[in-house]
Structure 1
Amino acid sequence: MRARSSGGSAAGEAGARPRPPAQAAANRARGAKKASRTEDVLSRFHEETQLGEAYDARMLLRLWPFVRPQGKHLALSLALLIVTASLALLRPLIMRDALDAFDAPGGLDHLTRAGILLTGIMLVEQSLAFPQLYLMQLAGARAMADLRIRVFGFLHTRRLGFFDRTPVGRLVTRVTNDVDAIGEIFASGALNAFGDLIRLAVIIVVMLSLDWRMSLLAFAAVPPVALGVNWTRRRIRDAFREVRSKTARMNAYLNEQVSGMAVVQAYAREERSAEEFDEINAAYRSANNRSIVLDATLDAAIEMVSSVCIAAVLWYAGVKSLKEQVSFGTLFAFVAYIDMFFVPIRDLSARYTLLQSAMSGAERIFELLDNKDEDATATAASSTGAAAAADERVAFELDNVFFGYKPGVPVLRQVSIAARSGEKLALVGATGAGKSTVASLLLRLYDVEDGAVRVFGRDVSAYPRDELRRKFAVVPQDVFLFPGTVLTNIAAGDAIPDRAKVVNALNRIGALDLFERREGGLDGPVLERGSNFSAGERQLIAFARALYRDPPILILDEATANVDSDTEARLQRALEGAMEGRTALIIAHRLSTIRAVDRIVVFHKGSVVEQGTHEDLLATGGVYSKLYRLQFARQEAAHA
C-alpha cells in the first residue's frame, strides 16, 4: 500500500514536473494567441453591435423631420395599439378564472360570463384595429410623399454635370423603390414594434406573478434570440444594400434600352440586349437570394429556440400539474401567455428585417441628398465677376473662360466673347468645337473652371437661378415635349397657360393654322416625348415656347437643323421679327442661315479663331471661308 502510494506520489510528481522552458513559452504563446482571438471576436461583436445601433439611430433621426408633421396621427395610432394590446392580455386571465371556477358551484355561470366578456373584448379589439392601422398607414403615406417631394426637388437643384454622371434609372430608384422600402415600416405595421415591446413587458410581469420558475424557462429563449438577431444585423443590412444597388442597376439598364429601342431594333441587338439583361437580372436574383437566406435562417432559429423552450415549460408545468401544484386554469393561462410571449418576438424579428431594408433605402436616399456638389441654386459672386462693373449695354460676356466636362479634357480654352444688347451673334465651327457649351455656361448649367461668365454685367454665379434663367429662352436642336397639350407645352413653366400669349407666339412664327387644324387644336394631346408630332412640328412648338417667354436673350442651338426647307424658310421669316429688339445667340450648322447676323464667331478645337461679318470672314480666306465653301460644294453635289 505504502509502496503503491509512494509510486503514485512519484508519478504525480513526475506528472507535475515543469516542462522545458521552450515548450512552456510556446504553450503560453498559444494560450495568449487564443485569448487574443477570443478578445478580437468579442471586440468585433461589441463594435458591430454599437455601430449597428448607432447607424439605425442616425438614419431614424434623419427620417424624423418627415415623420414629425404626422406626430398626432402616430401618437393616436400608438395609443390605440396599447389599448388593443392590453385588452388582448386580459383574455388568458379571464379564461383562468373561468376554468378554475368551473367545478365549483355556479361554474357554468362563471363560464358564461367569461364568454360574454371575451366576446366583448374581442369586438372592441377589432373595432379599434381599423382606426389604428388606418392612422399608422396614413401617417406613413404622407411622410413618404414629403420625402419623395424632397428628393424630386433636390434633383431640380442639380446642374447637368450631375445628370451626366448619374444614370437616370438609379435616380428613379431613389424616388420610387428606396422610398417605398422606408414606407414599408408604416405599411407593414413595423412601427407596431413599440406595441410589441410594451406587450412583452406586461407579459413578463404577468408570467412572473403566475409562476416565476416556469417564467425563467420561457425567458431562456431570449439570449439566443438576441445573439441571433445581432449576428444577422450587419449581414442583412449589407444584403439589402446590395439588393438596392442591383435594383438601381436594373432600372438604369431598362431605361436605357427602352429609350434606345429604335436603335436596338434597327441594329438587331435584341438577343444581345436580352443576354445583358439576363446577366443583370441574375445578379439581382443572387443578391435577393442572400437576403432571403439570412431572413429565413433568423426565422428558423427563432422558431427552433422558442419551440424548445415551450416544450420545456410544458414538461415542467405538466409535472407540477400532476402534483396538483398548479391549477388547470393557471396552466392554461400560462401556456397562452407563453404563446403570446413568442408571437411578438417572432414579429420583432420579421419587422427587424423590414427595418434593415428601410435603413438601407434611407442610406441611399440621404447619400443622394448629402451631395452638395453641382448645386445649381448656389449664388456666390466670383472674384473676377465681382471686380467687373455692371454694364447693361453688354448682354452677355465670356471673359477668358477655361472649361472641360471632364478633368484634364478641356472643351473651351481661354474663350473671350461679348455681345452687345440687341446684337445678333452667331457661333460656328466643326462638331465638338465648343459652341453649345457656351450656351450651357450662360445658363449656368455648368460652372467654369477659370475665367468669368457675365450676363448684363453681372457674374452668373451671383444670380439666383430663377432670375438668371428668366433672361433666356432656348430653342434646342432636339426638342423635348412633355405629356399634356400643345397649349401647356408652349406655356411650359406657367401653372395656368395664357391662351392669348400662346396664340400670339404661334402667329409670330406663322404656325397657328398648322396646329389649329390638328385634332383638338391647341388642346390636342401631346404624347410622351411628343411622339405624335413630326420633328418640324416639335421644332415649331419650341420656337413658340421661346417667344411665349419673351426674354431679353434668345438662344438658338442649331434650331433649324431638324426641319425641312419649307419649315426652315417659314422660321427664318418669323425669326427676323422675333429677334428684333432682343439679343440673339445663334449656334448654327447651316452657314446659309446666318448671313444676316451682326457678327460671326468661329470656333476651332475649343478656341475662338475668327470674328467678323459673313463678307469679312469670306474675304479673309480662313476657317470660316473653308467651312462655307465645303458646305456650299456639298449642297451643289446634292442638287446635281
Structure 2
Amino acid sequence: MNSSVPSSVQSNVEPSAAQRAELGGGPAAGEAAGSPPRPSKPAPAPARGSGAKGSRRTEDVLNRFHEEAQLGEAYDARMLLRLWPFVRPQGKHLALSLALLIVTALLALMRPLIMRDALDAFGAPGGAELLTRYGFLLTGVMLLEQSLAFPQLYLMQLAGARAMADLRERVFAFLHTRRLGFFDRTPVGRLVTRVTNDVDAVGEMFASGALNAFGDLIRLAVIVAIMVSLDWRMSLLAFAAVPPVALGVNWTRRRIRDAFREVRAKTARMNAYLNEQVSGMAVVQAYAREERSAEEFDEINAAYRSANNRSIVLDATLDAAIEMVSSVCIAAVLWYAGVKSMSDQISFGTLFAFVAYIDMFFVPIRDLSARYTLLQSAMSGAERIFELLDNRDEDATAAPADASCTGAATAADEGVAFELDDVGFGYKPGVNVLRHVSIAAKSGEKIALVGATGAGKSTVASLLLRLYDVEEGKVRVFGRDVRAYPRDELRRNFAVVPQDVFLFPGTVLTNIAAGDPTPDRAKVVSALSRIGALDLFERREHGLDGVVLERGSNFSAGERQLIAFARALYRDPPILILDEATANVDSDTEARLQRALEGAMAGRTALIIAHRLSTIRAVDRIVVFHKGCVVEQGTHEHLLAADGVYSKLYRLQFARQAAAAPA
C-alpha cells in the first residue's frame, strides 16, 4: 500500500460534520461530495451601509428559496375532476346541504313579494288585518330560513373538512414514499405549504364556495324569472348591466389566477426560509447573524406582501365595480319609473319589490365574483398539490425497471448478509461519491467502514436501506437485489443507530418501540436491560412512560443515544448499522455500551461507520475508503502492519488525542 497519507485523510481527526454544524461551521471540502446537498456555512452579518452587497446577498437568498417554475395554463374542470375522489365520499352530506341551500334561497326570495303585498295593503279594505297576516308570514319565513341555514352550513363545512382531511392524509402519505434525494432537493417549508396552506385553500372552496356558487346560480335564475314577471321593460333595463359585469369578470379572471399563483409561491418561499432559520437558530446566534437574517426576511416578506396586495386590489376592484353597476341600475330603474310616469301602471309595492330584486340580483353576482376569487385561490393550491403528487422521479415504492433486479437469492449468495457489487453512485449528476465499490459481508460478520469525512461511508448505509438507488452496479441483501424487495420487507432486515438520534414526541416506551403500533413493555425492558440502562430511565419521572418532547429536547445526548440502542435491540434485526453510535456518550456510558453491544451483535451482521478508530479494533474486518473508493481491507493488526492509509490515520488520530490530553 502507498505509505503516504492523502491530505483529505487528515480531516478524519477534525470534528465530525454534526459537531461542526453544532458549532456553526460548514462541511469540509470532502463532505460536499460524500453527503447530500446541505446549506453552506453562514457568513458573518454585514456591516451597516453595505447596501449593494446586502442586496445581492438577499437576492441570492430569494433565488435559493424560489418556488417551482411558474405553472402553465390550468383548467379548472380538470382540477375539479381530480379533486372529485376526495369529495365523493361526502356525497350524502353535500346533497342534503344543497337541498337545504335551495330551500333557504327560495325562502329569502319570498320576502320582497310578501313586502309588496303588505305595502299594497295600505289603504285597501281590511288593510290592517292583511298587514298583520303578512307580518306573521314574513316573520315565519325568516325564522324558517334562519333555522335551516345552520344545518345547511354545518353539513357543508363538515363535508369540506372531511374531504380536505383525506387530501391532506394523501399528501402526507405520498411524502413517505419519496426517497431521500427528493427531500435533499425540496425545501421543507415548501412541503409544509403543500400540506397546510394549499390544502386549506382548496378546503375553503369546498367549505364555503362550491355549493354556495351553485345556490347563487339558482337564486339568480329565480330572480330573473320574478323580475320579468313583475315588469319586463324594467327587467331589460336592469339586465343591460350584465354584459359589462361579464367583461369585468373575464378581464380579472387570468389576472386573479396569476396573482394567487404568486401568493402560493411566496408563501412556500417564506415557510422554507422560516424553517431554515428556526432549525439553525444556534448558528444564527453564534455568528451574530440576526441582523442579516432580519434583512433577508424583510425582503422575502415584502415579496409576499406585494403579491398578496395585488390579489387584494384585483378582488376589491371587481367587487367595487359590481357594487357601482348595481347602484346605477337601481337609479336607472327609479328614473325610468318616475320620468316615464309609470306609477299608474305599477303599484308602489311592485316598484319596491322590483328595486329589492335588483339589489338581490347583484348579490349573487357579487358573491359569484367573490367565489370566483376563492376558486382561483383553490385552483392555484390544487395545481401545486397535484404537481407534487404527480412526481414519480423519487418513488421509493416503484418497481425496478431492470428485470435483472428481481428474483430470489442464488445458491452462490447463501451466507452473504449484504453485498455491494461494483457500485457507483452520486448525489448530484456528474459528481461521484462511490466508485467501483465492492464489499461483501458474511452473516454474523462485523465490518467497520473507515475514511475521511465525505469518503462515502454513510452513503453505503443509505444504499443498503435503499434510501437512494445506485447508478452503477448492484446492492444485495441476503442475495436479493434491494430493488426487488418491498420497501417494508427490506428495512425489517436492519436497525440503524445514528450518530444524531431523532426522538419523536411521545414517551420513552413509544420511542424505543418506534414503528410498533402496540409497544411490548417487556421487550422494551429487556432491551434497556441488555445495554445496562434500565435503571437510568426508571429513575426518571414516570419511568418508561416519561414524556419525550420534540426532538427529545428534555434528554441529554447520551440518553438519546441509549434510547437509540434500545430501539435497535427492540427491533431485533439480522443486520445492525452503527453510525459512530457511541460518539455522544461519556466514557463510562461508552464502556457500558461497548460491553452490551458485544452481546447484542452476537449472531448478527454489523456494519459500523467509524470516526474514532479506538472503537473498531475488535471487528472482523475494516474497510478503508478514500475519495469514494475502497483502498484497503483487513483486520486492525493487518492494516497497521501494512503501513498504509489506515496505519497513518490511526497514528495521526492517537497523536492528536495524546496532545490534547491534560499533562
Structure-2-length-normalised TM-score: 0.87
Q: 2:603 aligns with which of 581, 595, 598?
A: 581
Give per-residue Cα distances to partners, 1:498-523, cap 9 Å, x unaligned.
Answer: 11000000011111111111112111
Deviation, structure 1 residue 192: 0.4
Q: 1:439 aligns with which of 452, 461, 471?
A: 461
Q: Could you say which residue in structure 1 is the equivalent of 2:443?
A: 421
Secondary structure of the corresponding residue to residue 170 of structure 2? helix
> 598-607 or 108-117: which moved more?
108-117
Q: 1:387 to 1:551 in 2, by over 3 A?
A: closer
Deviation, structure 1 residue 549: 0.3
Whole-Å separation in 2 of the counterparts to 1:97 and 1:439: 83
Q: Is 1:168 aligned with 2:195?
A: no
Whole-Å separation in 2 of the counterparts to 1:321 and 1:164: 76
- Which amino acid letter does the alignment assign opposite residue 585 of structure 1? L
Whole-Å separation in 2 of the counterparts to 1:564 and 1:379: 45
Whole-Å separation in 2 of the counterparts to 1:602 and 1:174: 43
Whole-Å separation in 2 of the counterparts to 1:203 and 1:366: 38
Deviation, structure 1 residue 386: 4.2
Q: Is 1:297 aligned with 2:317?
A: yes
- Asked if structure 2 preserves the Cα contact closer than 8 Å seen for 1:321 and 1:327, the reply is no
Q: Could you say which residue in structure 1 is the equivalent of 2:64?
A: none
Deviation, structure 1 residue 564: 2.0
Q: Is 1:514 aligned with 2:532?
A: no
Give per-residue Cα distances to partners, 1:246-301, cap 9 Å, x unaligned.
Answer: 11111111111111111111111111111111111111111111111111111111
Whole-Å separation in 1 of the counterparts to 2:522 and 2:547: 19
Whole-Å separation in 2 of the counterparts to 1:592 and 1:442: 25
Secondary structure of the corresponding residue to residue 91 of structure 1? helix
Q: Is 1:285 aligned with 2:299?
A: no
Structural mapping, 1:87-486, within 5 Å: 87-320=107-340, 323-380=343-400, 382-386=402-406, 389-390=409-410, 391-486=413-508
Deviation, structure 1 residue 95: 2.1
- Asked if structure 2 preserves the Cα contact closer than 8 Å seen for 1:136 and 1:189, the reply is no
Whole-Å separation in 1 of the counterparts to 2:74 and 2:473: 45
Whole-Å separation in 2 of the counterparts to 1:572 and 1:321: 104
Secondary structure of the corresponding residue to residue 289 of structure 1? helix
- Which amino acid letter does the alignment assign opposite residue 266 of structure 1? A
Whole-Å separation in 2 of the counterparts to 1:138 and 1:120: 28
- Asked if structure 1 preserves the Cα contact closer than 8 Å seen for 2:434 and 2:628, the reply is yes
Deviation, structure 1 residue 614: 0.9
- Which amino acid letter does the alignment assign opposite residue 108 of structure 1? A
Whole-Å separation in 2 of the counterparts to 1:296 and 1:441: 54
RMSD: 1.6
- Asked if structure 2 preserves the Cα contact closer than 8 Å seen for 1:503 and 1:512, the reply is yes
Deviation, structure 1 residue 191: 2.6
Q: Could you say which residue in structure 2 is the equivalent of 1:544?
A: 566
Deviation, structure 1 residue 104: 2.2
Deviation, structure 1 residue 199: 0.6
Q: Is 1:567 aligned with 2:620?
A: no
Give per-residue Cα distances to partners, 1:234-254, cap 9 Å, x unaligned.
Answer: 111111111111111111111
Deviation, structure 1 residue 113: 1.1
Deviation, structure 1 residue 175: 0.6
Which structure ranks higher in relative contact order (CA pairs < 8 Å, sequence separation ≥ 6)? 2
Q: 1:249 to 1:115 in 2, by over 3 A?
A: same
- Which amino acid letter does the alignment assign opposite residue 301 of structure 1? A
Whole-Å separation in 2 of the counterparts to 1:171 and 1:392: 43
Q: Is 1:78 aligned with 2:98?
A: yes
Whole-Å separation in 1 of the counterparts to 2:656 and 2:386: 54
Whole-Å separation in 1 of the counterparts to 2:500 and 2:477: 25
Q: 1:593 aligns with which of 601, 615, 620?
A: 615
Secondary structure of the corresponding residue to residue 435 of structure 2? strand
Structural mapping, 1:48-87, within 5 Å: 55-87=75-107
Deviation, structure 1 residue 402: 0.6
Q: 1:220 to 1:613 in 2, by over 3 A?
A: same
Give per-residue Cα distances to partners, 1:32-58, cap 9 Å, x unaligned.
Answer: xxxxxxxxxxxxxxxxxxx99971111
Give the number of aligned pairs: 590
Give per-residue Cα distances to partners, 1:129-167, cap 9 Å, x unaligned.
Answer: 000000000001101110110000000000100000011
Whole-Å separation in 2 of the counterparts to 1:249 and 1:260: 17
Secondary structure of the corresponding residue to residue 452 of structure 1? strand
Deviation, structure 1 residue 221: 1.2
Deviation, structure 1 residue 580: 0.2
Whole-Å separation in 1 of the counterparts to 2:401 and 2:384: 33
- Which amino acid letter does the alignment assign opposite residue 217 of structure 2? L
- Which amino acid letter does the alignment assign opposite residue 184 of structure 2? D
Secondary structure of the corresponding residue to residue 344 of structure 2? coil
- Gaps spanning 5+ residues in structure 1: where? 1-50
Q: 1:67 to 1:549 in 2, by over 3 A?
A: same
Whole-Å separation in 2 of the counterparts to 1:174 and 1:575: 43
Secondary structure of the corresponding residue to residue 439 of structure 1? helix
Whole-Å separation in 2 of the counterparts to 1:350 and 1:381: 48
Give per-residue Cα distances to partners, 1:391-428, cap 9 Å, x unaligned.
Answer: 34111011111100000000000111110111111111
Whole-Å separation in 1 of the counterparts to 2:145 and 2:154: 14
Whole-Å separation in 2 of the counterparts to 1:248 and 1:329: 55
- Asked if structure 2 preserves the Cα contact closer than 8 Å seen for 1:485 and 1:522, the reply is yes
Rg comparison, structure with higher value: 1
Q: Could you say which residue in structure 1 is the equivalent of 2:624?
A: 602
Whole-Å separation in 2 of the counterparts to 1:254 and 1:192: 36
Q: 2:636 aligns with which of 600, 611, 614?
A: 614
Whole-Å separation in 2 of the counterparts to 1:409 and 1:526: 40
- Which amino acid letter does the alignment assign opposite residue 501 of structure 1? K
- Which amino acid letter does the alignment assign opposite residue 155 of structure 2? L
Whole-Å separation in 2 of the counterparts to 1:139 and 1:387: 46
- Gaps spanning 5+ residues in structure 2: where? 1-70
Whole-Å separation in 1 of the counterparts to 2:553 and 2:300: 30
Secondary structure of the corresponding residue to residue 202 of structure 1? helix
Whole-Å separation in 1 of the counterparts to 2:121 and 2:618: 107
Same amino acid, percent of matched pairs: 90
Give per-residue Cα distances to partners, 1:456-504, cap 9 Å, x unaligned.
Answer: 0111011111101111000001000111111111011112211100000
Deviation, structure 1 residue 318: 2.4
